[in-house]
């Protein structure tokens, strides 16, 4: 594919529902990141994968948040028992490999609204 | 103190003038710095990357880095209405690629 894709683009959930957000990174990209962006704020780091290994999950706000990348390509971010404070845009980014000089390419994001 | 700080603006600049965006960071070990542009409702896109002290120019954009002062800036010359967006300063953690972003500066170019 030409870039990072995410689905769904928009998700409305009732409080307490579980949601699953999908990210398709750029083909061949080793590194994959999830960020959460609240309105008027910069993106905040959630978690990082290198291939299928989740190397950093320090940004996940609670144990209701879970991410996986079982085959080292597509990733899913799952939020259980959603709360209103989970409402945000969830951005996925990928890069070609480890190293702080590598550009991260962002997907269009999933806008989650919890009612 | 936040790790990466930006003036949230809004910053209004007349068309054709120079827009100056500033960012300070707290980690003296930071090695590289990114400027992302984010249009309303869109995802961030990288516009500049700098890792050496001094200036780096790319078209109408110039990034300036001063590691001693822990300060990085972005200058946009000959500002155009299409430059109206939020500009995010981002710093990768050394040894871990995760980016720490500032809150972003909202820039409006006035025709």
**A109–chain B nearest CA distance, Å:** 7
- Interchain pair B101, A43: CB under 8 A: yes
Distance CA B45, CA A93 (A): 11
pLDDT of the residue at A2: 79
- Interchain pair B99, A33: CB under 8 A: yes
Reported as a single tens digit per residue, the pLDDT across B10-46 is 999 999 999 999 999 998 888 889 999 999 999 999 9
pLDDT of the residue at A37: 97
pLDDT of the residue at B30: 87
B103 contacts in A (CB within 8 Å)? 40-42
- Interchain pair A103, B99: CB under 8 A: no
Distance CA A39, CA B43 (A): 13
* Residues in chain A with pLDDT values less than 70: 1, 99-100
Q: Is the CB of residue B79 less than 8 Å away from at least one CB of chain A?
A: no
Q: Is the pLDDT of residue B109 over 90?
A: yes
Element holding B4 (H helix, E strand): strand B4-6
A to B CB pairs, distance under 8 Å: 61
Count of Cβ atoms closer than 10 Å to residue A61 Cβ:
13
Q: Is the pLDDT of residue B8 over 80?
A: no
pLDDT of the residue at A97: 81
Reported as a single tens digit per residue, the pLDDT across B89-100 is 999 887 667 899
Best B30, B43, B104 residue to mutate vs chain A (most A CBs within 10 Å): B43
Q: Looking at beta carbons, which pairs linking A25-30 to residues 24 or more positions away fall under 8 Å?
A: A25/A73, A25/A74, A25/A75, A25/A92, A25/A94, A26/A1, A26/A94, A26/A105, A27/A1, A27/A73, A28/A96, A29/A94, A29/A95, A29/A96, A29/A97, A29/A105, A30/A72, A30/A95, A30/A96, A30/A97, A30/A98
pLDDT of the residue at A1: 53
Which candidate from B51, B98, B102 shows the least CB-CB separation from A101?
B51
Q: What percent of chain B has pLDDT over 70?
A: 96
pLDDT band at B2 (very low <50, low <70, confident <90, very high): low
Half-sphere exposure of A67 (CA within 13 A, CB side): 34
For residues B98 and A33, the answer to whether their CB atoms sit within 8 Å is yes
A109 contacts in B (CB within 8 Å)? 43
Examine residue B60 and say whether the peptide bond preceding it is cis (omega within 30 degrees of 0): no
B40: left (phi over 0), alpha (psi -120 to 50) or beta: beta
* Tokens describing residue A97: 């490999």
B88 contacts in A (CB within 8 Å)? 42-43
Three-class DSSP category at A14: coil
**A106–chain B nearest CA distance, Å:** 6
Reported as a single tens digit per residue, the pLDDT across B45-61 is 999 999 889 999 999 99
**A61–chain B nearest CA distance, Å:** 16
Higher pLDDT: A51 or B2? It is A51
pLDDT of the residue at A101: 73
């Amino acid at each position: 594919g030409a870039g990072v894709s995410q689905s769904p683009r928009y998700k409305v959930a009732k409080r307490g529902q579980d949601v699953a957000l999908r990210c398709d990174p750029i083909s061949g990209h080793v590194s994959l990141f999830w960020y959460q962006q609240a309105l008027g704020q910069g993106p905040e780091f959630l978690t990082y994968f290198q291939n299928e290994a989740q190397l950093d999950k320090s940004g996940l706000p609670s144990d209701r948040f879970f991410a996986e990348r079982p085959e080292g390509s597509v990733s899913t971010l799952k939020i259980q028992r959603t709360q209103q404070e989970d409402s945000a845009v969830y951005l996925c980014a990928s890069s070609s490999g480890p190293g702080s000089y590598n550009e991260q390419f962002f997907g269009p994001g999933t806008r989650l609204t919890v009612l | 103190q936040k790790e990466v700080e930006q003036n949230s603006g809004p910053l209004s600049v007349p068309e054709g003038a120079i827009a100056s965006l500033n960012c300070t960071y707290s980690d003296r070990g930071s090695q590289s710095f990114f400027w992302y542009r984010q249009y309303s409702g869109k995802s961030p896109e990288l516009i500049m990357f700098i890792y050496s002290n001094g200036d780096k120019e790319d078209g109408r954009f110039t990034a300036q880095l001063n590691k001693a002062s822990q300060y990085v800036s972005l200058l946009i010359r000959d500002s155009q209405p299409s430059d109206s967006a939020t500009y995010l300063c981002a710093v990768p953690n050394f040894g871990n690629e995760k980016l720490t972003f500032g809150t972003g500066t909202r820039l409006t170019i006035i025709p």
